[in-house]
Amino acid sequence: MKEILAKIRKLQALADSAAKIGSIAEAETATLAISRLLEKYSLSIFDVSAGDAGTDIGIDFFGNIPAARIWKRVLLVTLCEFNYCRAIFNASTKRAHIVGTEANALAVIDMFNCLQSVYRYAVRQSKIRKSETQSFFLGCVAGLRVRLEKEAQTSVMHTTAIARCYDVKIADFLAQHRIRNMKVKSTKIAIRAFGDGFETGCNTPARRTVQQKLF
């Protein structure tokens, strides 16, 4: 049984690595292989991750996100949602944290930094007024969500035991560490600027952008 568990862990590492660089086909193949092995040997993903430090859930300090930068908070929440993490905005310290495994948190941080650079460049190239920039950025994030949802529909990554395992472990972690999440205030939206941003978000591949920045 130890050999089977070792094999599943290797496949899980391959799936996580492939997903991080945007190789969806390779990630799906590895994930399907994991599901077959779990079913064949009547195992749970918890059996596989037991004692594996690489799957430990923790809090990764992200930094300060000013309350006025609502679009940055929404961007972080969105990226966490599609990368097996949770974004927490501590109401006491006013700081943002990412709850998840180290590998997933780092993937979120990479995408966040790259995408905000891309969106800022896009707004500079547009004719959006300064007062409408937040609407443009919120549109970018809305477009990004649509793109990620479409990618998720063609991938089994978000419906596997691995994804469910992350959700359960994060929920347990948050239950043990009571952090009061800061509420997001509402903001007025400039429709035209939001629409322009939405188009930018839909047309910007998050993972490929990171890969181009890294190589």
Q: Which domain holds residue 106?
A: 2-214
Selection from 2, 9, 151 nearest residue 78 by Cα? 151
Whole-prediction pTM: 0.68
Instruction: Look at the alpha carbons of 25, 31, 34, 39 in this order and tell me if their dihedral is positive or negative.
Output: negative
Selection from 70, 55, 84 nearest residue 163 by Cα? 84
* Count of structural domains within the chain: 1
pLDDT at residue 10 in the model? 81
User: For 144, how many CA atoms within 13 A lie in the half-sphere containing its CB?
Assistant: 30
Assess whether pLDDT exceeds 50 at residue 215. Answer: no
pLDDT at residue 53 in the model? 42
Q: What is the mean pLDDT of residues 98-115?
A: 84
SS3 for 51? coil
Exposed, middle or buried: residue 138 (CB in 10 Å: 0-12, 13-18, 19+)?
Answer: buried
